[in-house]
Homo-oligomer: A and B are copies of this chain.
């Protein structure tokens, strides 16, 4: 059934989200997205209290603490956005932090974090994997085909990376600590290594992709890499690579964060849409 949905703030992912919601037949209003192409924006939040659901961006807050709204010409304090809403109103936001949580509670809003949903994390691994592959293709003077690639860690990102790299003809190894992760990597056709003594066998790889958010590649490991090897670090802050050591050693490291929004904003918008639907469903909106 058609709903009244407000999409407030955000980057091209939110613009895509608004378009996709409208294509699904919902009544969609946007605010603080006035620089986005193909989106008609409301001049204010007036009327937003009638929304079945209000969707805030990912991340919800910008570095200044206000609404994250890079596609808006002006800045938007949180009060401006949440003020006009009514108690009990469903609000979905990405990466909810303390200030947003507190203000939503104070106003009696029903706040849900779509970025905390496992299905979105699993789906986001797809554009992240594609983004990493794009970077590798741009940076390496060899084809991924027949090159030797090590993926460190075998969670959601590893699961998305291995079949894609293999589909391109790369020879893929996975380094993971837990036995069941090693088993899963073997089942997917990767070679398997533990996490011990990385420096002893790192020299064989053309490309190393780290997915573990822990200090995995320090000076000893980086020294062991062969000349010309590329390191792509997909781990969120603080990352898994000692960047100073890499710079000193002349190892090329690309720390690639937030790839889904950069590599495929429209697809990312669709994933957010699906996840918001799940939340609305659970909230019986």
Chain A interfacial positions (CB closer than 8 Å to B): 12, 16, 117-123, 125-127, 130-131, 133-134, 137-138, 140-146, 159-160, 163-164, 166-169, 179-180, 182-184, 186-189, 263-267, 275, 278
Q: Pick the contact of A266 from B134, B141, B179 — CB < 8 Å?
A: B141
- Chain B hits for A166, CB < 8 A: 167, 189
Could you name 11 residue pairs across A and B whose Cβ atoms are closer than 8 Å?
A: A16-B141, A117-B179, A130-B143, A145-B187, A160-B187, A163-B163, A164-B167, A166-B189, A167-B167, A168-B168, A179-B275
Q: Pick the contact of A145 from B130, B145, B169 — CB < 8 Å?
A: B130
Q: Pick the contact of A123 from B183, B263, B266 — CB < 8 Å?
A: B183
Identity of the chain B residue whose Cβ is nearest the Cβ of A136 in the assembled complex: B134
- Chain B hits for A186, CB < 8 A: 123, 146
| With A168-B164, A189-B169 as contacts: A143 and B159 at CB distance below 8 Å | no
In the A-B complex, list the 6 residue pairs whose CB atoms are closest, starting with the nearest. A167-B167, A122-B183, A119-B179, A118-B180, A134-B137, A119-B183
Identity of the chain B residue whose Cβ is nearest the Cβ of A13 in the assembled complex: B141
Point out which of A182, A186, A265 has the most chain B C-beta atoms below 10 A from its C-beta: A186
Q: Taking the nearest CB of chain B, how far is it from the CB of A105, in angstroms?
A: 26
Does A184 lie within 8 Å of B122, measured CB to CB?
yes
Identity of the chain B residue whose Cβ is nearest the Cβ of A170 in the assembled complex: B189
Q: Taking the nearest CB of chain B, how far is it from the CB of A266, in angstroms?
A: 4
Does B118 lie within 8 Å of A187, measured CB to CB?
no
Identity of the chain B residue whose Cβ is nearest the Cβ of A171 in the assembled complex: B189
Does B118 lie within 8 Å of A179, measured CB to CB?
yes
- Chain B hits for A275, CB < 8 A: 179
Instruction: Give A180 to B159 CA distance when docked, in angstroms.
Output: 13
- Chain B hits for A130, CB < 8 A: 137, 143-145, 168
Does B142 lie within 8 Å of A266, measured CB to CB?
yes
Instruction: Give A186 to B278 CA distance when docked, in angstroms.
Output: 16
Does B169 lie within 8 Å of A126, measured CB to CB?
yes
Q: Taking the nearest CB of chain B, how far is it from the CB of A206, in angstroms?
A: 10
Instruction: Give A119 to B142 CA distance when docked, in angstroms.
Output: 18
Does B159 lie within 8 Å of A164, measured CB to CB?
no
Does A134 lie within 8 Å of B142, measured CB to CB?
no
Q: Taking the nearest CB of chain B, how far is it from the CB of A161, in angstroms?
A: 11
Q: Taking the nearest CB of chain B, how far is it from the CB of A216, in angstroms?
A: 22
Instruction: Give A146 to B187 CA distance when docked, in angstroms.
Output: 9
- Chain B hits for A117, CB < 8 A: 179-180
Does B127 lie within 8 Å of A134, measured CB to CB?
no
- Chain B hits for A187, CB < 8 A: 122-123, 125-126, 145, 159-160, 169
Does A142 lie within 8 Å of B278, measured CB to CB?
no
